[in-house]
Structure 1
């Protein structure tokens, strides 16, 4: 027999409702109404089955020993409650997911810190409309024109350079 009686729903419906996307609201409400209906039906029944009045049946049943036999079989009847074999697996999976979430948070915090550094660097730059070519070279040395160390041909686009390989040619060679 079950070890405890369900007293109320174990689901935090308010917290769950906040996470449901708007396009799935109808399915969520249908699921919640089914769950509430099931809980109402369970709570409508008594916690224990009503006791059987064996003396009443002994008086009414004419076959001798039949009620005693039924009573003996009924008291010997034991309906086993299934053993919980998956809770440990679920708990292990939950711990694994929590560690993955913590790892993601840590990685995200590191990315956020790096992005904040980049934003601070960009905020500290001279506005583009006030930059000279030298200011641009100092701020973005990898993108600036460098005619001495990296000469390029006009119009200075990657497609016009001697060592340029077209993307389609690059993909077909692999």
Structure 2
């Protein structure tokens, strides 16, 4: 089974270069130079082995049958293309990663929509430097102080409030 000859790189170097961090640009350039050098060396050779003029050698070589034997061996020579057992693994890994990427994109788009709503809400508010305490209470009811329904004492931390019990300290069972 003859494989198709590679005549150009399948890598989109410009797109890949956009993703390379600044501190790795030198390493990337060296890698690209090696790849380009390899591709130039491969394409410098002909795709097929050179044709041999067997009739010329049959007339020049005095040993009978020697050229015929060489011709038979040369034409029987077949260098197999190395097998690639990793392509299927890489394809399945690529599909898994693509699924993860698509899931992340979907989740990110959901977060973006939430953040856009939050930004729209914040943009609709009075600027903080112009807000009164009542304006703040109306804008953020869950964060504002409500002395009638849930009184709070300065510095308004949970451990400074009436009835606070530390979860880490065991309660006394009457001893």
Name the TM-score class by shorter chain: 0.7 to 0.9
CA displacement at 1:59 relative to structure 2: 4.0
How far did residue 50 of structure 1 move?
0.9
Q: 1:32-51, aligned counterparts within 5 Å?
A: 32-51=32-51
Residues 1-34 of structure 1 show CA distances to partners (whole Å, capped at 9, x for unaligned) of 7432222222222222222211111111111111
Aligned equivalent of 1:100:
100
How many residues align structurally? 168
Q: Which moved more, 1:76-85 or 1:25-34?
A: 76-85
Is the 1:58–1:67 contact (alpha carbons within 8 Å) kept by the matching residues of 2?
Answer: yes
1:66 corresponds in structure 2 to 66
Give the unaligned 5+ runs of structure 1. none
**CA distance in structure 2 between the partners assigned to 1:13 and 1:86 by the alignment:** 23
Please give the per-residue CA displacement for 1:120-165, whole angstroms capped at 9, x wherever unaligned: 1112222333333332222222222222222223343334224164
Root-mean-square deviation (CA, aligned residues, Å) is 2.6
SS in 1 for 2:29: helix
User: In the alignment, what sits opposite 2:173?
Assistant: none
For the 8 Å contact 1:158–1:164, the answer to whether it is kept is no
What is the alpha-carbon distance in structure 1 between the residues aligned to residue 135 and residue 94 of structure 2?
53
TM-score (norm 2): 0.79
CA distance, structure 2, for counterparts of residue 15 and residue 138 of structure 1: 49
**Which residue of the partner structure matches residue 119 of structure 1?**
119
Structure 2 unmatched ranges of 5 or more:
170-175
